[in-house]
Structure 1
């Protein structure tokens, strides 16, 4: 286990972060994550509301972040787990079933794989793409609410599923950014699911918990109940909304509003006296402008109350009001705003706390990422070692594997590097060798250098 190295690549609305790490067992036989390298680049005009809108800017930011993580860890980074987000992400409830041919045998994991593969072929609008198919409860020969069907006898196997869909173009843009950096994507995962791997415990998932990941461009909600992911939602208001509100309310420049939020931001106006001010530099030769810190706190409180109310309405709509015994876990870059926990507790009537990436092997780089802002990046590393749902063997379409924008359905050929080569990211210090190309492939690449993704019909 200690030899397998995984790289998580978090493409966010305000930053791109690459984290390389490996899971080890400490002296108490507990799994901990050793952080080997961290690269981070600010991203101002590449991602909006969680979706890649400027491919070139995002490609450059990824290149810098991955290069920094590579240099720190002495890794030849080639394979990454990447996140996706966006207010276009939807959770669609669906059901499906298969009839098994070998009715006398117990249900096997292969039967579940068959059922999942069928669900990835579900008919959806042409501009959408199914990113995850996640089962909730299984049905075996009419018996409902089966948690684990493997090992049971039955002819008909079915399940209720969550189909997590995204705009196909948005998913394609993420793949473009990966491919143009000569990287390969092992897993693409919804940001809130990755964050949950980093900050939630199995006990919290069993008891019922709402993970609220408040980033720069989006706020994501993921509800777990009885150990299973039951609902996800994405809202297009988050940390950047706070900055915009401060800018408009205080009549200052956007970068000044961002600095005010980071240095003096507080969601509890009672923390400031009525006469506490901070001087903001004026434009040109104009004199500085005094901003009341209490006003900044009032503006932030109002917006965060709105976000908390949206989360509560979605919990009610999903049918989990009063069922989440573990309450709300807040993470993401905005989670550290003082007073946020109190706002969520008051608005939702549910206990709320801030969730930090845990089980990190102590070192300087672990200290850097032990912050809610890095929950998604750390969770993407954990995704190489543990799954969202241990009842299934894959969480994304197994036929969707891309090498240099060509579809490959066979497993990659793995070769072992010589000792003089830097360690490759991915499975067990191995590197992935793309399939050999014939002259027709080279000609096609020359005529059509960049296709959107392996699903792009053009």
Structure 2
């Protein structure tokens, strides 16, 4: 597999998407191929049938490989599901020498310390995201590297998930014959793909409405402040239509996509859709007004839960106000009049987010659909990881060269020189390795 390409694998409740991308010369992401398959064996973002999930992953991967004519070996995968929760945590380290400059290593020590937090049984830390730092009691420091100080403190946004769910995702990928390059929280991936830096600075809530879950990520001052996964999505809307109109799921889904609206006032009483009955039965007639009433009731419920989470973050405080409002993405965001309904319930500006912020200009229109926001974000994540590895490999090479030079000198002078420090691994690589070890031991 070419080292300049990355593969994002979005294991969703309704679909599994494999997307292959690379950076073009302008630093934008070019999508080379995409494959999608119906997701069987995933319920509300959590794998509950490994065999079916493996088959779906393989189908999507094969389709993407055929489209891009490259062989896929490793993937960056997204994780979501109702077991995800996030918490705020503060921690500090005392530095041995306050007269030296704070460097990456100090921050790593601090992050690794947070990783040792005792979680509830069966939980594992997925991300540790520093919010802001304090040095010797001086607060609101965005970038501590290069400053002096003895006590380095930080508040962290810690994302936690169930070990078993994370392990199952890993197992599916391993059994599908792939390597796990990294794991990313899905709302973070979607946010990478659809939000601009200005929005993250001003304060914005990203709402990714999928089939089984609705993911939320809140940003303010360019930093992630809150994440949540709500276990409802487009699937429950379809369920409601199926129950309310006594029709089969396939028809309910089509009805929702073709005629569904989140705003009942839009439809006249006399607008009727006729649905063919099951074998030998009369066709059913459904008024669009009733259809949108069913959809409206469920969407209101989802949006209200999201709004509770946004308030939990503290949106009502002046300092924490989300000026850029809400951005909707994911397949569920394509529901007619959803934007108006969200604005009506929350009183916040709302737009639909398309993942074209970082894509090359000539990208296919299908790819820039909100459906693929998470997949695009995962590809970007994979590319970022690779760049980091390249830099680290380069540093290691330089260090080895230096050591060899020193050794040659030493032989000449017979002096002892201490070797330079090895570069430290980034937190994501450490996590991926931990998950890998974990899987190897779990076999």
TM bracket, shorter-chain basis: 0.7 to 0.9
Judged with a 3 Å threshold, the aligned counterparts in structure 2 of structure 1 residues 122 and 454 are, in CA distance, closer, same or farther, namely farther
CA-to-partner distance for each residue in 1:140-171, whole Å, 9 max, x for gaps? 11222211111110111121111101111100
Tell me, yes or no, if structure 1 residue 398 matches structure 2 residue 430. yes
Q: Pick from 199, 202, 205 the counterpart of residue 204 of structure 1.
A: 199
Structure 1's 92 and 306: CA in aligned 2 closer, same or farther, altered over 3 A? same
Is the helix fraction higher in 1 or 2? Answer: 2
1:292-337 Cα shifts (integer Å, max 9, x gaps): 1111111111211111111111111111236001110000000011
- 3-state SS of 2:274 partner: strand
Structural mapping, 1:405-424, within 5 Å:
407=437
What is the aligned counterpart of 2:36 among 40, 56, 61? 40
**Runs of at least 5 residues in structure 2 that lack an aligned partner in the other structure:** 389-423
Query: Any conservation in 2 of the 1:133–1:396 contact (CA below 8 Å)?
Result: no
**Correspondence for 1:336:** 334
83-92 or 247-256, which moves further after superposition?
A: 247-256
Provide the rounded CA distance (Å) in 1 between the counterparts of 2:203 and 2:383: 23
**Hey, what's the Cα distance between the residues in 2 that align with 1:62 and 1:218?**
19
Cα distance in 1 for residues equivalent to 2:382 and 2:428: 13
Corresponding residue of 2:360: 361
How far apart in 1 are the matches of 2:33 and 2:109? 38
**Which digits, 9 at most, give the CA deviation of each residue in 1:92-151, with x for residues without a partner?**
111111111232111001111111112112111221011001111111112222111111
The aligned residue for residue 243 of structure 1 is 238
User: What corresponds to 2:400 in structure 1?
Assistant: none
More displaced, 236-245 or 97-106? Answer: 97-106
Measure the CA separation in 1 of the matches of 2:162 and 2:275: 41
What residue ranges of structure 1 are gaps of 5+ in the alignment? 408-451
Q: Partners of 1:406 and 1:136 in 2: how far apart?
A: 27
Give the direction of change, closer, same or farther, for the CA distance of 1:127–1:3 in structure 2 (3 Å limit): closer
Q: 2: CA distance between counterparts of 1:233 and 1:361?
A: 30
Alpha-carbon distance, 1:348 to partner = 0.4
The alpha carbon displacement at 1:454 in A equals 4.2
Report the 3-state secondary structure (helix = DSSP H, G, I; strand = E; otherwise coil) of the residue aligned with 2:430.
coil
- Paired with 2:67 and 2:260, the residues of 1 have a C-alpha distance of 33
Contact 1:117–1:397 (8 Å) recurs in 2: no
Specify the alignment match of 2:407 in structure 1: none
Aligned to 1:227: 222
Contact 1:3 / 1:22 at 8 angstroms: preserved in 2? no
Structure 2: distance between partners of 1:386 and 1:204: 21
Shift of 1:208: 0.2
Say which SS state the counterpart of residue 342 (structure 1) adopts. Answer: helix
Which of 43, 48, 52 is the aligned partner of 1:57? 52
Q: Deviations over 1:375-410 (max 9, x none)?
A: 0000001113448xx9x97453605427xx962xxx
How many corresponding residue pairs?
401
Q: Is the 8 A contact 2:75 2:382 kept in 1?
A: no
| Cα 1:355–1:395 shift into 2, 3 Å | farther
Aligned residues of 2:183 and 2:432 also touching (Cα < 8 A): no
Say whether the 8 Å CA contact 2:20–2:64 is kept in structure 1: yes
Q: Note the 1:49-198 alignment, pairs <5 A.
A: 49-198=44-193
Q: What is the alpha-carbon distance in structure 1 between the residues aligned to residue 89 and residue 236 of structure 2? A: 33
Q: Is the 8 A contact 1:132 1:397 kept in 2?
A: no
In 1, the alpha carbon distance for the partners of 2:217 and 2:72 equals: 30
Q: Which residue of 2 aligns with 1:453?
A: 439
TM-score (ref. length: structure 1): 0.84
* Counterpart residue number, 1:272: 267
CA distance in 1, matches of 2:8, 2:369: 15
Which of 296, 303, 309 is the aligned partner of 2:304? Answer: 309
* Runs of 4+ residues deviating >3 angstroms: 392-397
Once residues 78 and 84 of structure 1 are traced to their aligned partners in structure 2, the CA distance between those partners, rounded to angstroms, is: 19
